[in-house]
């Protein structure tokens, strides 16, 4: 099974400095190479995250399932271009295998048999003259896909806040973690504190928490 691969294809040149310039315009501060990081951290610390909308980041994501990509595109303030199963004809179908299935010998046998059957049916349909756009109806949610994503810095931070949560589905959480690794290389100040949203809120907003932070109601009872 091909490993998930995340590539930061492009981003706004010097994204930290560009966003610091926006902060400087807002605050009337002259920006230079010595003070931009300090000001950017200060303004972001106030919660004024609109300034990081001036930086954009474009990723190529490979080796994720179609199921994962369906979760991804729920994030609306972004641009997506996905490999089309209508136009791309496959000679082999690679699929994501959840660890819960891999660890269960019998479940893995059932899973692998079904994926093989899907692949064989897809290939047979094409040999019968069925176009890929119709043969694709037999492909599973586990089938791998490629997708290009462009988000601005603010939406990317929001994405990380939701998808780095331990209650996020495991595949998109892994994807978010790898995207953050690449984003931090390009913009270490913007993404310095990027984390699950509980880290910035100080409490868990989920219905069932992981225990990292108390529930909001628990904080209120303690007067926090």
Nearest to 78 by CA among 153, 20, 6, 172: 153
Tokens 């996020």: give the residue: 168
Dihedral angle, C-alpha 123, 127, 130, 136, nearest 10 °: 10
- Spot the catalytic one: 109, 154, 163, 221: 163
Annotated catalytic residue 163: yes
Query: How far apart are the C-alpha atoms of 71 and 140, rounded to whole Å?
Result: 15
Helix (H, G, I), strand (E, B) or coil at 58: strand
Query: How far apart are the C-alpha atoms of 68 and 143, rounded to whole Å?
Result: 10
Longest alpha-carbon distance in the chain:
69
Nearest to 21 by CA among 4, 9, 33: 33
| DSSP classification of residue 95 | B
User: Catalytic residue positions?
Assistant: 163
């Amino acid at each position: 099974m091909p490993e998930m691969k995340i590539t930061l294809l492009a981003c706004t040149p010097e994204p930290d400095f560009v966003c610091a310039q926006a902060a400087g315009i807002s605050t009337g501060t002259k920006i230079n190479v010595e003070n931009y990081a300090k000001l950017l951290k200060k303004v972001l610390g106030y919660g004024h995250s609109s300034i990081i909308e001036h930086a954009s980041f474009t990723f190529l994501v490979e080796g994720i399932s179609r199921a994962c990509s369906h979760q991804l595109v729920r994030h609306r303030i972004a641009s997506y271009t996905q490999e089309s199963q209508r136009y791309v004809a496959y000679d082999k179908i690679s699929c994501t295998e959840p660890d819960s299935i891999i660890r269960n010998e019998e479940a893995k046998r059932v899973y692998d048999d079904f994926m093989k059957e899907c692949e064989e049916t897809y290939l047979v349909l094409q040999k019968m003259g069925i176009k890929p756009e119709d043969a694709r109806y037999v492909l599973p949610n586990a089938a791998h896909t490629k997708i290009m994503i462009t988000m601005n810095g603010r939406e990317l931070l929001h994405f990380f806040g939701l998808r780095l949560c331990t209650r996020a589905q495991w595949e998109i959480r892994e994807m978010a973690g790898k995207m953050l690794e690449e984003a931090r290389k390009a913009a270490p100040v913007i993404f310095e504190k990027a984390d699950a949203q509980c880290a910035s809120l100080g409490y868990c907003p989920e219905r069932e928490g992981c225990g990292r932070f108390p529930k909001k109601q628990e904080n209120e009872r303690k007067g926090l």
